[in-house]
Structures are given as C-alpha cells and as structure tokens.
Amino acid sequence: MARPLMDTAAERAFLRYNPSREALADLLRAARERRQQSIRAGKSYGALTLAAAERARPEVQQAYAQAQKEAAAAHNVVAPVLAALQGSPLAAGAESERAAQAERMAASQAHQEGDVAAREQAAREYPAYAARAAEGQFNTERNTISNKFRSLLENEGLSASEERTKMSEQQAKERKEEAKERRREEGAERRSLRSDQTAKEGHQLTRESSREAHGGTRNGSKPPTRKELQTAVNTIGTIRQIIGKHGGHLSRGEAVALLSEGKPSETVKEANGETFKTKAIPKFPPNALMAAALDWAEKGRVSRNTVARLRREGYDPSKLGIPLPRTGTAGKVERGAGKVGRQVAKALEG
C-alpha cells in the first residue's frame, strides 16, 4: 500500500538533510523485515499446529476404541462369575460400575476430541492474529522513527510541509510533462494512421463503386429486397433516436455495449414521489447498420470504412438515406439518396 504523501515528504526531507539518515533508514527496513518474519512465522506455526491437530483426531478415536475393546474383553472374563452371583449385591455393584466406566470413558473421549477441535480452530485463526500483532508492532516502531525524523527536520530548519509542497509541485509538473508528451505521440500516431487509412479507403471505395455501377455488391451477394431495405433504414433511424436521447454522454464503446445488450424498461421514482417507466431499449446486432447510425450521430455523416462495411453486408449505401463521405469519384456515385430512405429518415428526424 502506498504511503501517504506526508510520510513520504517527511522521509525525503530527512534523507536529504540529516547526516544520520542511514541509521534511521536501516531501522525502518529492519522493522519491515521483522513484520514480514512475524507474519511468516505465524502462518508456519498455524500450519504446523493444524497438521498436528488433524493427526491427533484419528489417534484419539483409535485410543478410545482400543480402550473400549479392552473394557469389553475384561467384562467377558468376569461375566460368567457375575452370572453365578445373580441376585447378589456384588453382581449389581459390578454392573453399576461397568455402566459408570462406560459413561466416564465417553465423557473423556468427548473432552479430548473437543480439545483437538479447539486447537484446530486456534491454529486456523493464529496466522491472522500474528499478522495483526506484527502490524501493530510495526506501526509502533514506524511512529517512533517518524518522530525522530520530525525532530531531525526541525534541527535542520526544514519543515515537512515545505518538503511536501515541493514534492506536490514536482509531481504535478512531471504529470503535466508526461501528459503533454503522450498527447504529442498519440497525435502523431493518429495522423499517420488517418493518412494510411484515407488512402486505402479511397482506393477501396473507388473499386467498390465501380463494381456496384456494373451491378451487384462487393461480395456479389443478392441485393436486399424493398422490405429488407426499409427495415435497414428503420434500424438506423431507431438507433439514432436512442443515442440522441442520451445527449451524447456515451462513448462509442458504451453505445455499442448498450445497443448490443439492450435494456429492459425500469420503474423510476422521482424526488416528488411520482414514478414512471423508462422505455425499453431493444437489442441490435453490432453490424454495419449500427456503425452507420453511430457515425451519423457522432460525426454528422458516415465514414468511408462504414460505407465499405455496408457494401460487404450487401447494402447499397446510397439507398439507406444516410449522409455519405465526401470523396472524389466514389462521392459522386454515392451523393444521391434513395427515395424510400430519404422519406423514412425525414419522418424519423421530424
């Protein structure tokens, strides 16, 4: 566990200004080592005691079983003699003693087994007890060393608060520099990826538009029927409405997760005590239609990559009523929107 900033500042100030810093640092390290040794010893002792108790349980049972056998054998020896004394006070006394002996033996066995069980429980709890004791001892030693730290810092004329302030400022400066460097590297990487992706997608859109102009889709699949096309347009519009109700507070990953898993209707209670039911969110497959709706909601138009995905899944993007990316030849092919798609999209937005 990370130490608080105050403790760290006090130790750093001490190590910087006090000539006897090595001795106190050694004391602190020794205290930590003793704590770990105590914890390990507690675990070892608990394990050994538990193993001994587990071995003792069958031994106790075996010993009392043997004692019972011996008592039974002794009774078998004297049983004929007692039978000859039927009705005699001596025979009645012998029988009473036999019953008392059996009762004492059972009580003794229960006591011994209870003792073994108690030792097992104590063995299981001992490691935690040893860890708490070691932690308490370490905290006491650490507090003593910390007091010495503060006394030495006062002698040097440097307060722990000043050192802590310096550390905070230094850490803030380092974090700022790291964030700046990270943003610079990420920006360079994004620019490089965008450049490569734009060139690749431009060639890909040109080839696919050419194929589509000669009939069929990229993968040669059968074009969707009018009903299937209508369903696709409705799906895009529904997803846009759902995302729009969240006010843009969802990341792309969160939006995909919400749409893929769906969400049942819930009853919500307001502060005034009134309740209402939220509208259920249906499940949608994470396909190109979902990507098109999310692109439209986030960027105002569909990306080139999503256009390519739509074609691979058998859709003509120009018939879905979606805003297409502005490109050269591919943009001219895709600029128009189908009549059905435009009408449905306009109705959904209105």
pLDDT tens figures, 11-67: 665 566 566 667 777 888 898 888 898 898 888 888 888 888 778 778 877 787 888
Give the position of tokens 């040097």.
Answer: 156
DSSP 97: H
User: In terms of domains, do 184 and 154 share one?
Assistant: no
Query: Does residue 16 sit in the same domain as residue 76?
Result: yes
Q: What is the dihedral sign for C-alpha 96, 98, 101, 103?
A: negative
Q: How far apart are CA 143 and CA 272, in angstroms?
A: 52
Q: List the one residue out of 286, 348, 303, 294 whose CA is nearest residue 321.
A: 348
Query: Are 141 and 264 within one domain?
Result: no
Residue type, 343: Q
Query: Are 154 and 221 in a shared domain?
Result: no
145 and 215 inside one domain:
no
Q: Are 339 and 230 in contact (CB under 8 A)?
A: no
Torsion region of 321: left, alpha or beta (phi above 0 gives left; psi -120 to 50 gives alpha) = left
pLDDT of residue 343: 47
Domain region containing 240: 180-349
- Both 108 and 203 in a single domain? no
Is 316 among the domain residues? yes
Integer Cα distance of 286 and 318 in angstroms: 21
Beta bridge partners of 268: 276
Domains held by the chain: number: 2
Flag whether 166 is in a domain.
no
DSSP secondary structure code for residue 19 in this structure: T
Domain end: 158, 191, 216, which one?
Answer: 158
Instruction: Could you list the beta-strand ranges (E) of 231-293.
Output: 267-269, 275-277
Same domain flag for 320 and 250 = yes
Tokens at residue 109, please? 């066995």
Of 127, 158, 189, the position where a domain reaches its end is 158
pLDDT tens, position by position, 255-291:
888 889 888 888 877 777 788 788 888 889 989 999 9
State the pLDDT at residue 331.
Answer: 42
114 is a domain residue: yes
Q: Measured between alpha carbons, how far is 320 from 229 in angstroms, rounded to an integer?
A: 7
Question: What was the pLDDT predicted at 236?
Answer: 92
What would the two tokens of residue 66 be?
Answer: 């043997």
pLDDT for 323: 92
Q: Is the residue at 208 inside a domain?
A: yes
- Report helix, strand or coil for 2: coil
Q: Is 281 helix (H, G, I), strand (E, B) or coil?
A: strand
Task: Indicate the residue among 124, 158, 192 that finishes a domain.
Answer: 158
Kindly report the number of other CB atoms within 10 A of residue 319's CB atom: 20
- pLDDT by residue for the chain (350 residues), tens digit each? 445 555 666 666 556 656 666 777 788 889 888 889 889 888 888 888 888 877 877 887 778 788 877 777 776 766 666 666 666 666 666 667 777 777 887 888 788 878 888 887 887 888 888 889 988 988 998 888 888 777 766 665 555 567 667 777 877 888 888 888 888 888 887 777 777 666 665 555 555 555 544 444 445 556 788 899 999 999 999 988 888 887 567 788 888 888 898 888 888 777 777 887 888 888 899 899 999 989 998 888 999 999 999 999 889 998 899 999 876 544 443 444 344 444 434 444 44
**DSSP string over 288-313:** HHHHHHHHHHHHSS--HHHHHHHHHT
